[in-house]
Every structure is written in C-alpha cells, then in structure tokens.
Chains A and B, each alone.
Chain A
Amino acid sequence: MPADSPFVALSHPERLVPVQVDGKELMLPEGENLAASLLAAGVRSFRETPVSGAPRAPFCMMGACFDCLVEIDGIQRQACMLSVTEGMDITRPRGATHG
C-alpha cells in the first residue's frame, strides 16, 4: 500500500493483478471493488468534469452519484460498481471532451 494514500486496507489481499491507469501499471487486489482498490492504491482523482474540468473522486460508493466514472475499453463506467480484473485498461476522463 503506498504510504501517501489517505486510505488504509485492514487486511492484505490474496492476489494482486496488474491493471493500467492512464498507461501506468498498478497492482490491485483481484475481484475487489475497483473504486475502493484505486483509492487504497493512492489514486486521488478519478476524472475531470466535462463542464469545468474539476477533479472528482468517489462520493457515494453505491452507484448513485456517477463521480467515480472512469473509461474502460472506451466506455465510461462507474468504478464503484465494478470488480478488479487482470489487465483492465483504465483511462481517467479529462475535461470537457466527454458528455
């Protein structure tokens, strides 16, 4: 766990798998919630808003706020509603290009 994450994980994951976040490799616990795993790995901002480009991160963790939207295989999806799978290719949506 990176020392600079504002979050701690209470237990140690069984199996870490590589995923790509904006082209950088991160090792995340397989099968665990994607948003929680990214937060624990020290990812602070998940996306920039289409309106002002402001950074956002998970707010509700229950699929209601859509602030955890990331792009996976070209489709914007809620990270809090997904599990970590090996080789996920995640892009953080940037600024006003997406609607």
Chain B
Amino acid sequence: MAEFDLAIIGAGPAGMAAAVVAEKAGLRVALLDEQQRPGGQIYRDVSRASADRVRVLGADYSYGAGLTTALAESGVQHIHGAVVWAVEDGFRLSYTANGTAAQVSAQRVLIATGALERPMPLPGWTLPGVMTAGAAQILLKGSGVLPQRAVLAGSGPLIYLVAAQMVRAGVPPLALVETQTRGDLSRALRHLPGALRGWRGLAKGLGLIRELRRAGVKRFTGADRLTVEGTDKAEALCFRAGGEDHRIACETVLLHHGVVPNTQVARSIGVSHRWSSAQQAFTPVLEAWGGTDRPGLFIAGDGAGIGGAMVAELSGRLAALKLAEEAGHLSISERDRRAAPLLRARSRELAIRPFLDAAYPPYPGALRPDNDTLICRCEEVTAGEIRQTAALGCLGPNQAKSLTRAGMGPCQGRYCGLTVTSLLSETTGQSPDETGYYRIRPPLKPVTLAELAAMAETGATDPEGE
C-alpha cells in the first residue's frame, strides 16, 4: 500500500491549494479525486477549456487554471478518477479507479469534498429534463453542452451566473423564476454594511443582473407553488407570482436554492456535525484551522461550511499550514506568519455571506414539501410518508429510513437527508440537532465485486499518478 504524510480527498480549490502548500512544505501528498482532471465542480475541466468556453464562463472560472497549473508543476501525487468509498482511522483510504479497488495510507487526511446542491423537492422534480443549475454548469464546463429551452427556478447568485453564461453562449433561458421575496431583501439590507467589505462580490452580482436585463431575460420574483408539469419528461414550469398563476412551456428546468456541505465522508468517520441556522444545513464542528475532533483529520472548503471558491482556496491553504506544522515541517511562528494575510483575505471574502444567506433563503415550499411530493428520489418516498412516521412516534432519520426506505438507495441520502431531518423536526417539534441525520457507513459509493477482486489479485495496487 502506498504511504503518504497527507491524503487529500477532492481536487477542487480547497484540495488543490492545500496539496500544493503541503507538498512545498515537504510533505508527501496524495490528492484523490473522482474526476479525470483537477478543478472540482467550480473549475471543472478548466485546464483544457477553449478560449470560446472561457469567454462564456468568465474570468472567475479561468482563474482556476492557476491552481491546476500549480498542481501539475508540484510533486503532489494526483490520483485521478478515484472514487473514495471508505476512510478508516489510522488512516487508510479505499478507492476505486479504472475498475480496480486500491488503498493508500496516510498520517493525516484533509477532506475537501465540497458542496452538493440543496435538495429541492417539488412536484415533478424527478422528471427527465429537471436538473440542478450546477448540473447545467457542469455540462457547459465539461462538454460545451447547454439546454436550449430552459427555465431557471429557485434562488441564489448561481442562478444569475448560469443565466448570464447561457446568454453569452447564445441560448438564453426562457425565464428566471425566483423564489426570494421583497421581505427577504429588506431583511438582508441590515447586513449590507458588513457586506460592503466584500463589495467586489456584490458588484459582480449586480453586473450579472444588468447583463440579464440587457438581454431581455424575463424575471419573476417571490414565486411560490412551483410545479414541473409532464408525464414522462418536463413540459412546463407552473408557479404563482405577483398574485397570478403562470405556466412556462419548456424542455429543461434548472433548480437551485443554494448549496450545502457534502458531509458524507466526515460523517462516515464519526466527525460531529451541528445545525447552522444561517446556512440551513449541518456543518462539521471544526477548530479555526479546519481540524475536526479526530486528531489528524481536517476539513476545508465548502464541505466545512459554504463560503464559495475563494474561501475554499484560502481555507485549504490554512489547513495545509497547520498540517505541515503538526507534521514538523513548519515552525509555529512561520505557520502564523504565513497564515495572517490568508486569514485577513478570508474574513473579507466571508463578509458578503450573511447578506447573501438572508437575501436568497431556500425556497420554503421545498423545505416543507406537500405530502404527495417525492423527497427520496432513489426509493420514491413521499414527504407524507415521512410525516406519517413522525406522527407515529418516529423521532430520527435512521428509524424513518428503516420504516420507509428513504435514504437507502444508491445516493445514500445525499438528496433527501436534509429534507428528512427537517420534515421530522417540523412534525415532532424537535430541533434539527436533536433530530439528527442519517448514520453514514462505508462503502460511500457502490463498489462491485469485480473491482474488489481486481484489488485482491494485484495486491493493493500502487496508485497511478499523473
């Protein structure tokens, strides 16, 4: 088994930045990532993006090429196409790459697995033609593929960004159906003075909205009762806005109402999580450098709490400094000297978050879906079934899982876990912390017998580096 001082899971901004800092400090670093090329979802395929694609995606995207280049020029062992399915104390990581299971061992581990789209259960959200807005971005970044007759629905700055990119690509969305209300905006305004420290982010957001207005893209705000119509595919988005019912015929509906930390790996190894009411999600309990309650186990990036790409990169660097110091490669004073400007930059980048969280809250209709709405895509369990189990005395998600099968499918609750917690806590009156979350156990992603057999045959294979 290959041995490293540090294994990092996820080659997004946090993972790439941390890997390079730690390797430069003298650690032997393995960076495992599911994709073939580094970048994470935010900088996906940036290292091979054409000039035309960069024009559509913008400078915030091409910025990521600096990170992928630094990684390529470093001595980091980048194990690409590697799906990590178990992390054990000690640490030992099991993964599958190229149809073969393999393992690496490491003194320390940094989890940098980023975010998932917040589940947005509403009637019709499982129909072909309904995707996350993030999925549309991945199609564009990775494949140059875009939906032609699409509606974007939900809330958050990502909706403006995707819409603007579609405009630049020559296939503007039919409409933006936004769920945030005027009330949300006025509540957000009290955070404006703080947010002004992050004025660049605000200016970018306003610039995108202007770009959409110039392009004549229709916007609805305060939308409610969102429903995707169709029998075997999406045919229209129906909703209520401005006191009227609307129906927009379309082929694609792109959903988004924020992203939430992807906590699967951290939970599987027993890291404690707490409910964040500002982010309306569970976040891992961390000290200032990203360390968990497990010695040697760190988390950086959106998986530690949503902050966006720049915060992720800075947090990755900070975690790497601490890890290098713990490993004896950096003195405490050197660590702190290098951390100071990163901490200042991070607090500037985070200044806009309270404003954004208040201005673009999750769509209430998807946090408390109607009884008939499917909330578990895999096992096709409805919100009503979860409420019923709560009414019968079920208090926690694990019991709800065994009663209804919600969370038992291949996605392992990634797209129903938060909904189940909030439905249970709504019905029982317990807080999300008291209600808890699914117990996550390895394998984190399905492994086949053939993949395991291939590992047994070759012994634990050495990772294929890049």
Pick out which of these stretches binds chain A: B127-135, B212-220, B306-314, B350-358: B127-135
CB distance from A40 to the nearest CB of B (A): 5
* C-alpha gap A56/B377 in the complex (Å): 10
CB distance from B115 to the nearest CB of A (A): 10
CB of A11 within 8 A of chain B?
Answer: yes
Q: Are A10 and B144 in contact (CB under 8 A)?
A: yes
CB of B169 within 8 A of chain A?
Answer: yes
Given A6-B129, A11-B52, A33-B142, check contact A59 B233 (CB 8 Å): no
Q: Are A9 and B148 in contact (CB under 8 A)?
A: no
Query: Given the complex, which residues of A lie within 8 Å of B414, measured CB to CB?
Result: 64-65
Q: Are B147 and A6 in contact (CB under 8 A)?
A: yes
* C-alpha gap A52/B414 in the complex (Å): 20
Q: Are B34 and A8 in contact (CB under 8 A)?
A: no
CB distance from B177 to the nearest CB of A (A): 18
CB distance from B414 to the nearest CB of A (A): 5
Q: How large is the interface on B (under 10, 10 to 19, 20 to 34, 35 or more residues)?
A: 35 or more
Q: Are A59 and B139 in contact (CB under 8 A)?
A: no
Given A6-B251, A7-B139, A61-B139, check contact A52 B380 (CB 8 Å): yes
Q: Mark A42-79, 1 if CB is under 8 A from B, else 0.
A: 00111001011011111111111111010000010000
Query: Given the complex, which residues of B lie within 8 Å of A37, measured CB to CB?
Result: 143
CB of B2 within 8 A of chain A?
Answer: no
Q: Are A10 and B116 in contact (CB under 8 A)?
A: no
Query: Given the complex, which residues of A lie within 8 Å of B365, measured CB to CB?
Result: none
CB distance from A25 to the nearest CB of B (A): 21
In the complex, residue of chain B having the shortest beta-carbon distance to the beta carbon of A32: B143
Of B34, B132, B135, B415, chain A has the most CB atoms within 10 Å of the CB of B135
- Set B50, B129, B411: member contacting A66, Cβ < 8 A: B411
CB of B283 within 8 A of chain A?
Answer: no
* C-alpha gap A53/B128 in the complex (Å): 13
* C-alpha gap A9/B132 in the complex (Å): 19
CB distance from B233 to the nearest CB of A (A): 5
* C-alpha gap A24/B116 in the complex (Å): 34
Ordered by A's residue number, 23 sampled pairs between the chains whose C-beta atoms are within 8 Å are: A6-B148, A7-B145, A7-B147, A8-B146, A10-B52, A11-B50, A36-B143, A44-B128, A45-B233, A49-B378, A55-B127, A55-B233, A57-B233, A59-B135, A60-B415, A61-B138, A64-B116, A64-B262, A64-B411, A64-B415, A65-B377, A66-B378, A69-B410
Q: Which residues of B contact A (CB under 8 A)?
A: 34, 36, 41, 50, 52-53, 56, 83, 116-117, 126-132, 134-135, 138-140, 142-150, 169, 171, 232-233, 251-252, 262, 377-380, 409-411, 414-415, 445, 448, 450
